[in-house]
């Protein structure tokens, strides 16, 4: 009997942690009816998710073009959407809350 190890994408566990935090938060705030709700916890999760998007987009830019000079999220987004225009149509489904989000649309 041995232990098999499989390399996990670097950001996957962090994504799962944010997802778990959102699931816990949903026990206190109904996402389907409280778009105007605010708390420090909601702000923390939002900033964590946005920061992670920034980091991942930057890494995608570097993988597309090692000499990329993109230095802001708007520049990262432009380079990534030039390479993958269909990413703008990406949907986040939250069936438990009756929500379909399009985070990259606007």
- Flag whether pLDDT at 95 surpasses 80: yes
Encode 60-95 in three state secondary structure. HHHHHCCCCCCCCHHHHHHHHHHHCHHHHHCCEEEH
DSSP 7-67: PPPTTHHHHHHHHHHHHHHTTTS-TTT-TT---HHHHHHHHHHHHHHHHHHHHHHHHH-TT
Question: pTM value?
Answer: 0.81
Q: What is the pLDDT of residue 85?
A: 95
33 pLDDT band, cuts 50/70/90, is: confident
- pLDDT, tens only, 34-88: 889 999 999 999 999 999 999 999 999 999 999 999 999 999 999 999 999 999 9
């Amino acid at each position: 009997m041995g232990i098999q190890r499989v390399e996990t994408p670097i950001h996957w566990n962090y994504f799962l942690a944010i997802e778990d935090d959102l699931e816990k938060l949903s026990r206190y705030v109904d996402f389907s009816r409280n778009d105007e709700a605010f708390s420090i916890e909601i702000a923390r999760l939002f900033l964590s998710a946005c920061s992670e998007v920034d980091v991942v987009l930057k890494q995608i830019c570097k993988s597309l073009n090692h000499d990329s000079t993109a230095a802001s999220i708007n520049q990262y987004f432009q380079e990534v959407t030039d390479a993958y225009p269909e990413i703008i149509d990406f949907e986040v489904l939250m069936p438990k809350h009756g929500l379909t989000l399009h985070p990259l649309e606007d």
